[in-house]
């Protein structure tokens, strides 16, 4: 889960940092850190999952899918 960014001879520090940030977002590290920063009870996770499921069903009914 390590991210390796190699700086080329003409790369500035800012461009290397930008490359690192893009790779971190692409691998989902930023999202994982946000999710793990606060503990959520399993019941909260389950309720959120079921609510999303209900929303998808309602959208499908509304748009005839």
- Predicted local confidence at residue 39, as pLDDT: 95
Task: Kindly tell me if the per-residue pLDDT of 65 is higher than 80.
Answer: no
Are 21 and 5 in contact by the 8 Å Cβ rule? The answer is no
Could you give the CA distance from residue 20 to residue 3 in angstroms, rounded to a whole number? 7
Enumerate the H helices of 12-41 as residue ranges.
13-26, 29-36
pLDDT score for 1: 66
The helix-helix angle for 29-36 and 13-26 (nearest 10°) equals 70
Rounded to two decimals, the pTM is 0.58
Render pLDDT for 13-63 as a digit per residue (tens, 0 to 9). Answer: 999 999 999 999 999 999 999 999 999 999 999 999 999 999 999 999 998
Contact present, 3 and 27 (Cβ < 8 Å): yes
Rg, the chain, Cα only = 19
Show me where the domains of the chain are located.
13-63
């Amino acid at each position: 889960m390590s991210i390796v960014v190699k700086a080329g001879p003409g790369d500035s520090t800012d461009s290397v940092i930008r490359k690192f940030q893009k790779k971190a977002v692409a691998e989902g590290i930023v999202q994982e850190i946000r999710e793990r920063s606060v503990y959520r009870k399993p019941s909260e996770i389950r309720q959120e999952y079921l609510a999303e499921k209900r929303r998808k069903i309602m959208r499908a009914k509304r748009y005839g899918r």
